[in-house]
Amino acid sequence: MNDTSNQIVVKPWGREYLAYRNVEVAIWVLEIERDAATSLHCHPRKNTALIVLQGEVELSLIRGAPKKFTGLDKINIFRGRFHRTRALSTGVVLLEVEAPDDKRDLVRLEDGYGRAGKPIEEASVPRDESCLQIENKHLTVQQFAGCGLYIIGASSSKQLLDYDERVIFVTLSGGLTHGLLPPGDAVDGATMERFARAFEPLPNTTFLQIWRAK
């Protein structure tokens, strides 16, 4: 697969591109056109977190009724679990957090565009000014798709208190003691509040915070 750092991958359902990468996780922006859907696919070796920034989607697994998600809903999808995301509105934007970073780790079971069993597409279009690039800079708040994004370092559990479900935390490095919230996991602020009262962050822990901008 060619270098994706400065490229957009054009999909039959829209487009995706890389917004952040470190040695443990990669974050991709997915823009899905209304009534279009990804393949029913899984990642055999990596975990994925999906976070809806804008619009409404329907998430389907192999069994059970599809579930609707809107901003800032999120779900952690563990390795090997087949899933499909369909856009129910215009302007759908999601973050896809992958741990570890391996774009080739993809198996398609079903696809409405004839891609079942085929490998992932290559990057094909240069990035433009509309693309998000998550900046790992101190005190830098970014605005994107109606949301605020901010990377924080957490050396103490006190820094993780006083949040509610309107804020999403994505672990970029480290995590909490006992192996909780490893890199790539997403959790809402209310859950983080409860965790932080019982568990301390590991050394060199960083989180991406996401919230709905006013």
CATH assignment at residue 101: 2.60.120.10
**Tens of pLDDT, residues 80-130:** 999 999 999 999 999 999 999 998 999 999 999 999 988 888 878 999 999
pLDDT of 208 above 60: yes
Note the pLDDT of residue 3: 64
Over residues 182-198, the mean pLDDT reads 97
The residue range of the domain holding 100 is 7-126
Note the pLDDT of residue 119: 85
Note the pLDDT of residue 195: 97
Contact 21, 101 (CB under 8 A): yes
Note the pLDDT of residue 1: 52
**Tens of pLDDT, residues 120-174:** 888 789 999 999 999 887 768 999 999 999 999 999 999 999 999 999 999 999 9
Note the pLDDT of residue 124: 83
pLDDT of 5 above 80: no
Query: Both 86 and 27 in a single domain?
Result: yes
Which structure tokens are listed for 130? 């509309």
**Tens of pLDDT, residues 29-63:** 999 999 999 999 999 999 999 999 999 999 999 99
3-state secondary structure of 67: strand
The b-or-e profile of 77-111 (16+ CB within 10 A means b, else e) is beeeebbbbbbbeeebbbbbbbbebebebbebeeb
Q: How confident is the model at residue 192 (pLDDT cuts 50, 70, 90)?
A: very high
Domain finish residue from 69, 99, 126: 126
Query: Both 112 and 168 in a single domain?
Result: no
Q: Work out how many domains the chain is built from and give that number.
A: 2
Query: Residue 155: inside a domain, yes or no?
Result: yes
Query: Both 122 and 146 in a single domain?
Result: no
3-state secondary structure of 193: helix
Contact 147, 71 (CB under 8 A): yes
